[in-house]
Amino acid sequence: MVAKESFRRVGACSWELAKSYDERMQAPARIYAGEVLFERAFGDRSVEQLVNVAMLPGLVKYAMAMPDMHQGYGFPIGGVAAFDYDKGIISPGGVGYDINCGVRMLTSQMDYEDVAPHLDALATELYRRCPSGVGGSGAVSLSWGELNAVLDGGSGWALKYGYATAGDVARTESAGCLPRAQSAAVPDRAKARGRGQLGSLGSGNHFLEVDVVDAVYDATTADIYGLRVGQVVVQIHCGSRGLGHEVCTQSLRQLQDAPRRYGIPIPDRELVAAPVGSPEGQAYLAAMAAAANYAFANRQVLAHFVRLAFEEILAGKVPDWHLDQLYDVTHNIAKVEDHTVDGMQMRLVVHRKGATRAFPAGRPELPAVYRTTGQPVLVPGSMGTHSYVLAAEPASLELTLGSSCHGAGRTMSRRAATRAVRGESVRAQLKEQGVAVRAKSMRRLAEEAPFAYKDVSLVVESVVGAGIARKVARVRPLAVIKG
């Protein structure tokens, strides 16, 4: 077990474990967190998992963990690790099974008062139009040919078929399409699972939420983001469904022998890896990117059905019910990015496992509208609590290679949560707080009870304290749709 005394404080909200801690470490390990969350990180195995990541070859800068870190399998959740494109590795365990799980926020022109009388009807319509639950079919069924077009085109496919606007696509990370995607690299079995699930939320911590902006911290940026106090917004949190799970499972299986063949020492078999440039590394990159495109299209199709639900319930009752896209971020991904490291330009493969990209003003990857503010970083809280919109700060590139937290982060197991509370009482409590809930499973509601998560405001204050991002706005939920 790693002791917290082994870490040295290197900033207000940053802590470092020297490379000398274990001779197998290729670089130091860093945790970005305030004191409370830093201490709590030692309550499970997440710090050990971070040290394991620091042992992977070609690691650049540090193995990093964001303040919402918690125990995962392989990488800790909230883990970020970048590897030299030429000399480093790529690891499916650094992305996980839900490839391109991410969050999208839509903004409206409506105030809370406009929507309040219709909230229950809206929640019911959203639940009806946006399928959820374990397994669960999606709103759209695809032929094999169309599925390949989704895998190769991502949000571009959705635009072609009327599920997206050009503005949506522009305001999606990587414009909703990773260029290295190859549908041919995705196993048939993954495709078989994905054909019927496009436009579905899934289960677990995935959700669809109607929120109201209840605080603005940075008026100038909020104005550019199109956010103001009292305004109704929507969040969608989901990923690549069974298709992504199957891509990860098959890739891990295929890579089991790669560490031996390439002489890559790994401390944990979930961290199997191949050199980025090897046939195995490139095959994973192509399949993972295709699954990521499926996830971008999935959130886009869901956004379309959210718009239809708003139209169905609110048309004629409010002056303007249309929804614009603020941004869509991915938080389980490996991306090829160019960064300056110790004054040198480097091409890296940045793994973010439960971490969001946070590119500041000036990065060419950002859509023109956000090039002066930095990208929106969407940080959903636990069910029934606040969520935040942050803006990436310039220091994020140096500190975390442009990465931030992705949410509140669990602190209690699902099992402990279901022992502590019943789903029905979670729903009743939320109703008391004025939150309409539609859920497929009461057990899931209990598992996702707010007390099973860290306080999202502590996570956000850590990110702000570290200098990674600044607060722009805060939202609170009005209606929650869960699987």
What b-and-e string marks burial along 135-171, b requiring 16 or more CB atoms within 10 Å of the CB? ebebbbebeeeebbbbbbbbbbbbbebebbbeebbeb
Task: Reply yes or no on whether 304 is catalytic.
Answer: no
- Residue 253 binds to another protein (criterion: CB under 8 A): yes
Is 173 near another protein (CB under 8 A)? Answer: no
d(CA 272, CA 420): 36
C-alpha to C-alpha distance for 260 and 333, rounded to whole angstroms: 25
Residue number with CB closer to another protein (135 or 179): 135
248 binds another protein (CB under 8 A): yes
Site string for another protein, 204-223 (x = CB under 8 A): x-------------------
**How many CB atoms neighbour CB 250 within 10 A?**
17
Residue 5's CB: how many other CB atoms inside 10 A? 6
Q: What are phi and psi of 262, to 5 degrees?
A: -100, 0
Shortest Å, Cβ 459 to another protein? 15
Shortest distance in whole angstroms from residue 2 CB to another protein: 15
Q: Toward another protein, which CB reaches closer, 131 or 376?
A: 131
- Interface with another protein includes 246 (CB under 8 A)? yes
By CB under 8 A, the residues from 72 to 91 that bind another protein are: 72-74, 77
Instruction: By CB under 8 A, tell whether 146 contacts another protein.
Output: no
Beta-carbon contacts of residue 20 (< 8 Å; ≥ 6 apart): none
3-state helix, strand, coil in the chain (%, to 5): 40, 30, 30
CA 399/CA 11 separation, integer angstroms: 11
Judged by beta carbon, residue 72 or residue 360, the one nearer another protein is 72
Pick from 97, 163, 284, 294: which binds another protein (CB under 8 A)? 97
Instruction: Report the distance separating Cα 177 and Cα 409, nearest Å.
Output: 27
Min CB(22)–another protein separation in Å:
16
Q: Is 141 in the site for another protein (CB under 8 A)?
A: no
Contact 358, 406 (CB under 8 A): no
Distances from the Cα of 265 to the Cα of 65, 72, 257, 277, angstroms: 22, 20, 12, 17
70 binds another protein (CB under 8 A): yes
Q: Does 149 bind another protein (CB under 8 A)?
A: no
**b/e per residue, 26-54, with b = 16+ CB within 10 A?**
bbbbbbbbbeebbebbbebbbbebbbbbb
Instruction: Indicate the length of the chain as a whole number.
Output: 483
- What is the nearest approach in angstroms of another protein to the Cβ of residue 429? 22
Q: Which residue in 165, 200, 404, 411 binds another protein (CB under 8 A)? A: 411
8 Å CB contact between 337 and 402: yes
Would you count residue 194 as binding another protein (CB under 8 A)? no
**Least distance in Å: CB of 379 to another protein?**
17
Q: Is 257 in the site for another protein (CB under 8 A)?
A: yes
- Restricting to residues 436-475, which ones interact with another protein according to CB under 8 A? 441, 443
- Of 108-116, 167-175, 390-398, 404-412, which part binds another protein (CB under 8 A)? 404-412
Report the nearest approach of another protein to the CB of residue 63 (Å): 16
β-pairing verdict for 436-439 and 403-404: unpaired
The total of other beta-carbon atoms located within 10 Å of residue 257's CB is 12
Residue among 203 and 375 whose Cβ is closer to another protein: 203
Task: Give the whole-angstrom CA distance, residue 364 versus residue 358.
Answer: 13
Does position 96 interact with another protein (CB under 8 A)? The reply is yes
Segment contacting another protein (CB under 8 A): 275-283, 298-306, 358-366, 411-419?
Answer: 411-419
Q: Compute how many residues bind another protein; rule: CB under 8 A.
A: 43
Please say which residue, 272 or 303, places its beta carbon nearer to another protein: 272
CB atoms under 10 Å from CB of 478, counted, come to: 22
Positions marked active-site? 406
Binding site for another protein (CB under 8 A): 44, 46, 70-74, 77, 96-98, 133-135, 189, 192-193, 202-204, 242, 245-246, 248-249, 252-253, 256-257, 268-270, 272, 410-416, 441, 443, 483
